[in-house]
Every structure is written in structure tokens, then in C-alpha cells.
């Protein structure tokens, strides 16, 4: 008894001494409540498109966004939080205004710059986007092999039915596990060259999620998140304003239900906690249960494009009586990277790629004989920028007709020396050139489809009110080789008032050879009349490289090259645009 009493007394003294020591050191014992509660932070990027440095390579000016700024924020969050998950939502491996064009053209044997930096940053996963396939499966495979994090997509399978790549990943934080399911928009076959996705099948995102989420739960995932490169079936009319996403009012159908699945995934997948959306480049702080938009507890966020925002999801987890964790509270927001200092580690890691890119974009191409303005007004009249693309495509193919679009609202070329910077700023995507055979009926249908870009004219004096914002600018085509007028005071489908080829009216059965990019030839943008057209030729050379070759041959290009082969009616609309 005496020995036992001494033992107990000794233990009590030791416990008291340890308690004093822990208090002195600022250490506290967790309470029962604290032990049964945990906090998770998910940080997500999407549609980075090769952006590392906060710079616009097309203007040589500072421009917020990119991995260098993001890593500074990530380090701060990690220092303040124990459980942080860093994920990306795809469209990482392609980008015109980035270090990637030089890398793929001249230095493709070196480590992919985006993967190199993401490895440094400690990403936990990356979902595949549609642009990951632009350079083919070999290039994608090299990037995946270099990644020190899982690259995932559950709804891409081989023709045999086996997974193309890992469908999901589960990260063990010790206390709990988080499952991340990768989803890719199933519309990739519509846009991508067949050889770049040979042997692959793109399945329904909803059916895929219904299959895998229960598996992830069964494997111990306490939290399940879809990081899906897919966007919105509906969105607020003012979707460019962050606060518009917090109200169920004034939502409109996007007409893109085949490619965008975020809302259906949120409402129809049991066991799902949150979604990181992507693909359509929107910044969305949080869409949660409201009206008929989302009817479950799943929250959706989206981090914009080019690293201008990071989506942040905060979750409070509580342990239930069964010992399993569940999400008690959840919220999300988007954090702007504007003004954030670039992380020196990333700046150093990407310096070689950056320096080579700057020199590449300085390379001279031709002489611009005058200013060539762009922006939305340039879609209202025949302009030199699209004329340049179309003339290059006709020069390269000898086609009867060429089709091209202004991809961005910011492209312009000033009078003076024209450089690679100007060409790549105008033609930002790595599309290749096809020729197809179509008839006059299909040609008229295609021009009518382009005319949907304009709202019906009823006397408006504001140019912006004439733009149909549900149609992306890069899906409005301008044609060279035919003469035509579009009357936007007429109803949709009845706007092409004149259509001639070499001065003669186009007959419905008349056949034409048409030059256009691979995206449009596959029916991208809703141009289904091209999808089954006879394919005559396809180039492996990018359109922008063809433009460079053409411009170096002709030596100069400018406003005098415009032939005004098409125009908008009423004439007051074009006049208004030219004065804009």
C-alpha cells in the first residue's frame, strides 16, 4: 500500500509540474469540443492558361494575376491554417499570352514551366481542362509525368472503358480525409482535333459523379469536392459583377447545357459537399442554396481566369457520434490577387522561360501601315484585323472563302513595326487551319448564326445594347471572299439580305471551299452546319504561324487592305460603331 501511495503521489506531482510547464510555454490541452471539431481551407485556381508572372506579354505592361502572386497568398494561408488543400481546375497547359508558346515551339524538351511551378507550390491535384489536349496526347503525357501531384479526370475513359487518367484523389489530413473528383467538360470532341483525343470517350459528368462519389465515401472521404472544368447552365444577367451571384433574381439560360454542368451536379449528387467550377472564366464568390438555382447544401465557387482570383472554401467539420466527420458549416469567396507581391521563389523558377518569351515576342514580322483598332466596335464593320487573318488563310489554302473572328475585346495593332507580340495578341489560340466543302445553303445558315451576335435594332443609340451577351465574341465570324449584308433590324434567321460570290447571287446548291480553324470546323460555337462537311485538308501549322509567314511575304498590312465586302444595316449602326 505504501509503495502504491508513493507512486500515485509521484504521478500527481509530475502532472502538476507538467501543467505548470505547459502554461509557461503557452501550450493548452484541447477541450472535448475542440478535439471533435476541425477546420479545412480549400484554395482553388482555374483557367490559368500559362500565367506565371504578373505581366501582359502582348503589351509588356504589369498585369495582376498568375502563379507568382498566388503563391504569396497560398503561403500566407498555410501559415495561418493547419489543413489547407490546394487544387487546380484545368486549362493550365495552353495560353497565348504566356510563356507557353515559346516553350512548345522551341524548348519542348525542357520541363513544362507550369508544372514546374505548380510542383514548387505544392499543389494537391489538377483536373484536366479542354485546352489540355490542344498540343496532343504526347505533350499532355509529358506534363502529367512531370507533375508531383495527381492529375485527375473521372469522365474521360478509353474506348475499352478503363480510366484515361486517375478519376479522383483522397488526401489524408490525419484527422479527416478529403476526396477530390476531377471532371472535364464533355464537349471536348466538338472542339478538339480528332488525333489529339484519339481513343478517348468523354462521359456524362452527372453519371460519372453518381458513380464515383459513393466510392470515395466508402474509401473514407469525410469531405467530397468536385473540381470540375465545367461551368454554368444558367447565370445572372450581370454575371461579371460578383454580387450578382448572391441573388436568385435575373438568372438567364446560357444555352450551353452540353458543356456546362455545375448546377446539375450540385442538385443531383448525394454525398457532395462543394464544387469548384471553371471553363467559362467567371469569378463566382459563392452560389449556395437559393430559390430554384441550387436546392441542396452544396456550395459552388469559381476563381475567374489567368490567376486574377483564388477561390477559397472554408469548412468547419464536426465529429459525429459514430466517429465520422461531417461538414457542419461551409462558405466560399474569391480573393483578388491585385496588388499581391509576387513570390520570389516562383519568379526565380520561371525566369528562364520568362526571359526567352520576352525576346520571342519582340521578333519583327512586318510593317503596320496604319492603326488597326479592335474591341467590340470592330465587329460591326469590316476591319483590318480580321481581314489580316482571312487573307493569310486564303493565301495559305487557295480557298474560295475564309472565316475568322476577333477572339478578344482588347486586340489592336498600332501603326509601325509589327511584331510576334502583335500577331499572338490578335490570334491568341493555337488553332490549326482546315479547308472544308460546303454549299450555299450552309453558307447562308452560318452567316445567319453569326448574326445572332447582335440584338435586334429598334433605334438604340448605345452600341453595347446591341450586343447579345449570351454569345461570346469569338463565336461571331467575319467572312472574306463573299459579299454580304446583315440587317439587324430583322428577326433572327432572316437577317442575311444579300449574299454574292464574285458579283453573282449565291445559289443554295453552289459549292465552295472554305478555310477556317479546327475549332469552327468541328462545329464549335454552335456552327453545326460545318460538323459533317467534307474535310479537304488540315494543317498541322498553327494559324498564327501561317499569319507570320504571310505577313513576312507581303511585308506590310493596314487599313487600306480592307475591301468592305460586308456591312451591317441599318447604316446608322455601322456609323455609330466607327465613331465609337
126 three-state secondary structure:
strand
Instruction: Please list, in sequence order, all residues whose beta carbon lies within 8 angstroms of the beta carbon of residue 431, skipping any fewer than 6 positions away.
Output: 517, 518, 519, 542, 543
Instruction: Yes or no: say if 273 and 281 are a contact pair by the CB < 8 Å rule.
Output: no
CB count within 10 Å of CB 434 equals 26
Q: Shortest CA distance to 283 belongs to which of 313, 252, 310, 315?
A: 310
114: left (phi over 0), alpha (psi -120 to 50) or beta: alpha
Q: Look up the CATH number of domain 363-578.
A: 3.90.780.10
Instruction: Yes or no: say if 477 and 403 are a contact pair by the CB < 8 Å rule.
Output: yes
Query: What topology is assigned to 32-355 in CATH?
Result: Purple Acid Phosphatase; chain A, domain 2 (3.60.21)
Grid cell digits, residue 546: 501561317
Half-sphere exposure of 151 (CA within 13 A, CB side): 22
- What are the CA-CA distances from residue 377 to residues 337, 362, 460, 485, 573 (Å)? 30, 28, 15, 17, 10
Grid cell digits, residue 489: 433590324
Per-residue pLDDT of the chain (580 residues), as tens digits, is 334 334 444 444 444 444 444 444 454 444 445 579 999 999 999 999 999 999 999 988 999 999 999 999 999 999 999 999 999 999 999 999 999 999 999 999 999 999 999 999 999 999 999 999 999 999 999 999 999 999 999 999 999 999 999 999 999 999 999 999 999 999 999 989 999 999 999 999 999 999 999 999 999 999 999 999 999 999 999 999 999 999 999 999 988 899 999 999 999 999 999 999 999 999 999 999 999 999 999 999 999 999 999 999 999 999 998 889 999 999 999 999 999 999 999 999 999 999 999 999 999 999 999 999 998 999 999 999 999 999 999 999 999 999 999 999 999 999 999 999 999 999 999 999 999 999 999 999 999 999 999 999 999 988 999 999 889 999 999 999 999 999 999 999 999 999 999 999 999 999 999 999 999 999 999 999 999 899 999 998 999 999 999 999 999 999 999 999 999 999 999 999 898 7
The pLDDT, as a whole number, for residue 23 is: 44
CB count within 10 Å of CB 458 equals 9
Residue showing cell 438604340: 460
Grid cell digits, residue 465: 445594347
The pLDDT, as a whole number, for residue 3 is: 43
- Is the pTM value of this prediction over 0.75? yes
The pLDDT, as a whole number, for residue 59 is: 87
- What are the CA-CA distances from residue 575 to residues 136, 448, 572 (Å)? 44, 22, 5
Q: Give the full edge-to-edge strand order of the sheet including 511-517.
A: 477-480, 401-405, 511-517, 432-439, 534-542
Grid cell digits, residue 68: 507568382
The pLDDT, as a whole number, for residue 580 is: 78
Amino acid at each position: 500500500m505504501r509503495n502504491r501511495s508513493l507512486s500515485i503521489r509521484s504521478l500527481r506531482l509530475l502532472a502538476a509540474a507538467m501543467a505548470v510547464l505547459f502554461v509557461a510555454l503557452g501550450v493548452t490541452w484541447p477541450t472535448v469540443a475542440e478535439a471533435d471539431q476541425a477546420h479545412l481551407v480549400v484554395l482553388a485556381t482555374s483557367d490559368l492558361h500559362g500565367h506565371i508572372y504578373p505581366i501582359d506579354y502582348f503589351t509588356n505592361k504589369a498585369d495582376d494575376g498568375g502563379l507568382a502572386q498566388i503563391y504569396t497568398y497560398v503561403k500566407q494561408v498555410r501559415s495561418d491554417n493547419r489543413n489547407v488543400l490546394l487544387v487546380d481546375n484545368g486549362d493550365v497547359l495552353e495560353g497565348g499570352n504566356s510563356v507557353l508558346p515559346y516553350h512548345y515551339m522551341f524548348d519542348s524538351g525542357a520541363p513544362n514551366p507550369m508544372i514546374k511551378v505548380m510542383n514548387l507550390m505544392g499543389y494537391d491535384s489538377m483536373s484536366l481542362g479542354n485546352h489540355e489536349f490542344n498540343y496532343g496526347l504526347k505533350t499532355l503525357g509529358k506534363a502529367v509525368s512531370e507533375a508531383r501531384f495527381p492529375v485527375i479526370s473521372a469522365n474521360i475513359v478509353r474506348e475499352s472503358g478503363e480510366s484515361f487518367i486517375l478519376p479522383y484523389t483522397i488526401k489524408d489530413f490525419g484527422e479527416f480525409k478529403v476526396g477530390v473528383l476531377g471532371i472535364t467538360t464533355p464537349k471536348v470532341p466538338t472542339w478538339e482535333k480528332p488525333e489529339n483525343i484519339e481513343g478517348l470517350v468523354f462521359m456524362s459528368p452527372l453519371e460519372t459523379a453518381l458513380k464515383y462519389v459513393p466510392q470515395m465515401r466508402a474509401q473514407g472521404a469525410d469531405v467530397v469536392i468536385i473540381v470540375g472544368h465545367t461551368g454554368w447552365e444558367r447565370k445572372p444577367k450581370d454575371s461579371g459583377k460578383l454580387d450578382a451571384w448572391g441573388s436568385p433574381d435575373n438568372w438567364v439560360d446560357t444555352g450551353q447545357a452540353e458543356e456546362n454542368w455545375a448546377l446539375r451536379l450540385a442538385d443531383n449528387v448525394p454525398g457532395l459537399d462543394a464544387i469548384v467550377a471553371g471553363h467559362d472564366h467567371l469569378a463566382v464568390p459563392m452560389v449556395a442554396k437559393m430559390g430554384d438555382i441550387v436546392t441542396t447544401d452544396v456550395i459552388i465557387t469559381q476563381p475567374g481566369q489567368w490567376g486574377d482570383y483564388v477561390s477559397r472554401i472554408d469548412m468547419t467539420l464536426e465529429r459525429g457520434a459514430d466517429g465520422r466527420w461531417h461538414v457542419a458549416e461551409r462558405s466560399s469567396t474569391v480573393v483578388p490577387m491585385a496588388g499581391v507581391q509576387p513570390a520570389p521563389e516562383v519568379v526565380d523558377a520561371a525566369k528562364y522561360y520568362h526571359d526567352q518569351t520576352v525576346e520571342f515576342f519582340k521578333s519583327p514580322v512586318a510593317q503596320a501601315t496604319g492603326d488597326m483598332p479592335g474591341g467590340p466596335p470592330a465587329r460591326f464593320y469590316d476591319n483590318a484585323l480580321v481581314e489580316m487573318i482571312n487573307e493569310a488563310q486564303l493565301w495559305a489554302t487557295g480557298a474560295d472563302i475564309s472565316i475568322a473572328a476577333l477572339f478578344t475585346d482588347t486586340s489592336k495593332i498600332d501603326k509601325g513595326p509589327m511584331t510576334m507580340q502583335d500577331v499572338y495578341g490578335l490570334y491568341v489560340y493555337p488553332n490549326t487551319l482546315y479547308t472544308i466543302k460546303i454549299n450555299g445553303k450552309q453558307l447562308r445558315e452560318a452567316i445567319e448564326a453569326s448574326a445572332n451576335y447582335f440584338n435586334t435594332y429598334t433605334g438604340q443609340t448605345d452600341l453595347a445594347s446591341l450586343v447579345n451577351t449570351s454569345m461570346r465574341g469569338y463565336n461571331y465570324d467575319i467572312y472574306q471572299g463573299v459579299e454580304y449584308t446583315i440587317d439587324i433590324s430583322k428577326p433572327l434567321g432572316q437577317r442575311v439580305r444579300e449574299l454574292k460570290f464574285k458579283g453573282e447571287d449565291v445559289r443554295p446548291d453552289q459549292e465552295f471551299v472554305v478555310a477556317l480553324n479546327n475549332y469552327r470546323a468541328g462545329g464549335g460555337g454552335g456552327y453545326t452546319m460545318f460538323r459533317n462537311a467534307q474535310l479537304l485538308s488540315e494543317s498541322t501549322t498553327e494559324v498564327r504561324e501561317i499569319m507570320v509567314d504571310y505577313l513576312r511575304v507581303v511585308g506590310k498590312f493596314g487599313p487600306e487592305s480592307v475591301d468592305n465586302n460586308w456591312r451591317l444595316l441599318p447604316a446608322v449602326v455601322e456609323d455609330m460603331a466607327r465613331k465609337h
